[in-house]
Amino acid sequence: MLKNFKKIILFLVILLLSIYSKQTVFAQGTTVEQKLELIQNNQILGGAFTIDYEIKGTNLTGSSTLGTLNADIVYDSTKLRFINGTNWNTGLDSVNGYSVNIQSNDVEHNSNRWLRISLTAVNVSNSNPAGFNLTGSYFTVVRINFIILNADNPVTLTIKDITNQVGFFANSGNSPDNSIINNLALSPPLIISGQPLPVELSSFNFDVSERNVNLKWSTDFEHNNAGFDIERKSSSKNDGWVKIGRTDGHGNTSSLSRYAYSDTKILAGKYNYRLKQIDVNGNYKYYDLNGIVEIDNPKKFDISQNYPNPFNPTTKIDYALPLDSKVNIVIYDMLGREIKSVVQEQQKAGYYTVQINATDFASGTYFYRMIANANGNNNIITKKLSVIK
């Protein structure tokens, strides 16, 4: 009787030692690594912000069948709103013996909330599905979908260390079924930092040179920046915004980038300008220039050299009127004979451009003269042009 009792005690000791050895199967250096991968960032208010939560094993020994997983992802609820978790890995579904869940905590701390990702192998055993075995390659556990609430400031997503844990069955596939799970802390995560940041505009200003507006702007950071459309509208009219130019962006950069664009030969008036920043996916955001740009009336009577010159068959001439004037612009040949009257009308003070068509002209040199009569005084300017056919 005593002999049999000793045998039972010995068997129990061996069993306990066996269980203990199975609970400490991890070799030194065994880690389970995790990361958050950005999938989509629309970079506009109300747009989609999507990430994948991924894990992989490194230097795994013994069983690698997932038993449990807990991870809390921290996010700023003033910048992102959690929608749902989708695209769960099919190896973690109920058919394979798992129960999964993702839920946002309602409690806030300094506007931060966290998402609890949880996984439990409720039915993995030798008589049921064999479960999911972790490998050395990253795989997506779940896709996490947010809506952007604030596109003007960056957001950072992190994972709480205190709940950062994964567990493996002591036996691969939990066979034989003893439901022993060895817990291991997940490695420090690769986080998503500074998103969304389509473009961080650090300056946007202008200067005026006569009837030319020189726009200048710079960025401190760019993410998927395809470029900028430059738009203008009249402040004194009911006209809408008009695209007047385009400048390519620098794609992805964290360095200072400078841009410039000149809007030339503008008529006198008041104008607003804005930039339409467009990313590689077609998403866009507007940046308005502070203040109104004003182009004053010219200070003196003037007429430009035609451009191009020589020409065939058309050319343009710019002229400026500081006062309301009766304007005559006439073309003469070298003998002083009138060839063509280009302008003959009363005009308000401002900047003007006229196009000349010389289809009926012979090759040669001609003169064009502007006579602008204002307040009974004639202001006369004469210049030369050349036609080459």
Q: How far is CA 252 from the centre of its chain?
A: 9
Closest by Cα among 292, 364, 372 to 329: 372
Residue 49 has pLDDT above 80, yes or no: yes
Paired tokens of 48? 């989609």
Paired tokens of 83? 């929608």
Residue 300 has pLDDT above 90, yes or no: yes
Residue 296 has pLDDT above 80, yes or no: yes
**Cβ–Cβ < 8 Å for 186, 141:** no
pLDDT score of 184: 57
Mean pLDDT of the 281-310 span: 92
Residue 312 has pLDDT above 80, yes or no: yes
C-beta contacts of 201-205 below 8 A and 24+ residues apart: 201/275, 201/277, 201/287, 202/256, 204/275, 204/287, 204/289, 204/290, 205/289
Residue 195 has pLDDT above 70, yes or no: no
Residue 244 confidence class, pLDDT cut points 50, 70, 90: very high
Mean pLDDT of the 259-281 span: 92
Reported as type and span, the H/E element at residue 127 is none
pLDDT score of 363: 96
**Cβ–Cβ < 8 Å for 343, 358:** no
Residue 178 confidence class, pLDDT cut points 50, 70, 90: low
Q: Which residues contact 255 (CB under 8 A, 6 or more apart)?
A: none
pLDDT score of 22: 32
Q: What angle do CA 356, 360, 364 make, to 5 degrees?
A: 80
Residue 354 has pLDDT above 60, yes or no: yes
Q: Which residues contact 139 (CB under 8 A, 6 or more apart)?
A: 54, 55, 56, 89, 91
Helices of type H across the chain? 2-23
- Spell out the CATH class of 199-295: mainly beta
Range scoring the smallest mean pLDDT among 174-178, 280-284, 370-374 = 174-178
Q: How far apart are CA 72 and CA 65, in angstroms?
A: 21
Q: How far apart are CA 255 and CA 298, in angstroms?
A: 41
Mean pLDDT of the 104-119 span: 80
Mean pLDDT of the 307-329 span: 96
List the CATH code of the domain at 30-195: 2.60.40.680
pLDDT score of 13: 33
Residue 231 has pLDDT above 50, yes or no: yes
Mean pLDDT of the 188-204 span: 62
What is the SS3 assignment for 154-217? CEEEEECCCCCEEEEECCHHHCCCCCCEEEEECCCCECEEEECCCEEEEEEEEEEECCEEEEEE
Mean pLDDT of the 365-382 span: 97
Closest by Cα among 364, 287, 295, 296 to 332: 364
Q: How far apart are CA 247 and CA 45, in angstroms?
A: 24
Residue 188 has pLDDT above 70, yes or no: no
**More confident: 165 or 198:** 165
CATH 2.60.40.680 occupies which residues in the chain? 30-195
CATH 2.60.40.10 occupies which residues in the chain? 199-295
pLDDT score of 215: 98
Residue 142 confidence class, pLDDT cut points 50, 70, 90: very high
pLDDT tens for 11-28 read 333 333 333 333 333 444
Q: Which residues contact 361 (CB under 8 A, 6 or more apart)?
A: 313, 339, 387
Range scoring the smallest mean pLDDT among 48-57, 117-126, 195-204 = 195-204
**More confident: 280 or 119:** 119
CATH 2.60.40.1930 occupies which residues in the chain? 302-387
pLDDT score of 380: 97
Residue 67 has pLDDT above 50, yes or no: yes
Mean pLDDT of the 298-324 span: 96
**Cβ–Cβ < 8 Å for 306, 382:** no
Residue 371 confidence class, pLDDT cut points 50, 70, 90: very high
**More confident: 167 or 379:** 379
Residue 220 has pLDDT above 90, yes or no: no
pLDDT score of 9: 40
List the CATH code of the domain at 302-387: 2.60.40.1930
Closest by Cα among 76, 215, 98 to 148: 76
pLDDT score of 7: 41
Q: How far apart are CA 87 and CA 136, in angstroms?
A: 21
DSSP state of 93: S
Mean pLDDT of the 102-117 span: 80
The count of C-alpha atoms lying within 13 angstroms of the C-alpha of 223, restricted to the half-sphere facing its C-beta, is: 18
Range scoring the smallest mean pLDDT among 23-37, 151-165, 327-341 = 23-37
Closest by Cα among 230, 279, 298 to 259: 230
**Cβ–Cβ < 8 Å for 311, 359:** no
Q: How far apart are CA 328 and CA 368, in angstroms?
A: 10
Q: How far apart are CA 326 and CA 322, in angstroms?
A: 12
